[in-house]
């Protein structure tokens, strides 16, 4: 019995029919996963770039308008207007802004507080308008739907409540009022 099994295994090993099919079945899913992950990474990078650009333009507006700085909703709208590639930005973006002391620096909390898309938009965690010469930290957090959630990078994104998120942060000093 063992000899027959061994004889069939040896014959199977020597048989070269179907060799390409086995390599094809093993390698094609790996190649497609790498290809789809590169698409996902490219779109993620583009979204991150747009979010950081929108935040920097909004920060410039706040920095230069100390006397009548935009409120939270206006600033959020400004970020979203400057970042057209972010899907459903107004409903999925959350901003935190707080003054910090340069002498006793304590930054924002480690974990960014993103929007829960299943419920109403949460109010801002902290959003304090600074005064003249105040050092301010601002953080934007956006949750998004991955383009291809079931392969490669779709599983590996930093997530909050089941959705991937991206974070951008900036610091600035408000200009004095003239």
Tokens 């930093």 belong to which residue?
158
For the stretch 48-63, pLDDT in tens is: 999 999 999 988 887 7
Mean pLDDT of 40-53: 91
User: Could you tell me which residue, 17 or 55, shows the higher pLDDT?
Assistant: 55
User: Could you tell me which residue, 102 or 118, shows the higher pLDDT?
Assistant: 102
The lowest-confidence range among 6-10, 19-23, 70-74 is 19-23
Q: What is the pLDDT of residue 121?
A: 35
State what percent of residues in the chain have pLDDT above 90.
8
Q: What is the pLDDT of residue 9?
A: 74
For the stretch 127-160, pLDDT in tens is: 656 666 677 888 888 888 888 877 766 666 766 6
pTM above 0.85, yes or no: no
Instruction: State the first-to-last Cα distance of the chain, in angstroms, to the nearest integer.
Output: 98
Q: What is the pLDDT of residue 53?
A: 93
Angstrom CA distances, 163 to 37, 105, 156, 166, stand at 17, 31, 11, 10
Judged against a pLDDT cut of 80, whether residue 12 lies above it is answered with: no
Apex CA 113: angle with CA 111 and CA 117, to 5°? 135
Q: What is the pLDDT of residue 4?
A: 85
User: Could you tell me which residue, 15 or 53, shows the higher pLDDT?
Assistant: 53
State what percent of residues in the chain have pLDDT above 70.
68
The token pair that represents 141 in the structure block: 């957090």
For the stretch 84-117, pLDDT in tens is: 888 888 888 888 887 777 777 776 667 666 654 3
Q: What is the pLDDT of residue 165?
A: 83
Three-class DSSP category at 148: coil
Q: What is the pLDDT of residue 19?
A: 62
Residue ranges covered by each domain of the chain = 2-173
């Amino acid at each position: 019995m063992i000899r027959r099994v061994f004889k069939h295994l040896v014959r199977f090993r020597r048989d070269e029919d179907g060799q390409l099919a086995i390599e094809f079945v093993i390698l094609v899913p790996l190649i497609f996963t790498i290809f789809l992950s590169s698409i996902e990474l490219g779109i993620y990078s583009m979204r991150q770039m747009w979010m950081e650009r929108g935040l920097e333009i909004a920060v410039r507006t706040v920095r230069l308008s100390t006397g009548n700085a935009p409120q939270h909703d206006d600033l959020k709208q400004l970020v979203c207007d400057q970042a057209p590639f972010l899907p459903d930005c107004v409903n999925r973006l959350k901003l935190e802004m707080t003054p910090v002391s340069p002498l006793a620096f304590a930054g924002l909390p480690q974990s960014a507080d993103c929007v829960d898309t299943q419920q109403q938009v949460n109010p801002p965690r902290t959003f304090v308008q600074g005064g003249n010469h105040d050092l301010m930290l601002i953080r934007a957090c956006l949750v998004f739907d991955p383009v291809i959630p079931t392969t490669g990078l779709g599983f590996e994104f930093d997530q909050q409540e089941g959705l991937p998120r991206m974070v951008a942060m900036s610091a600035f000093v408000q200009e004095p009022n003239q």
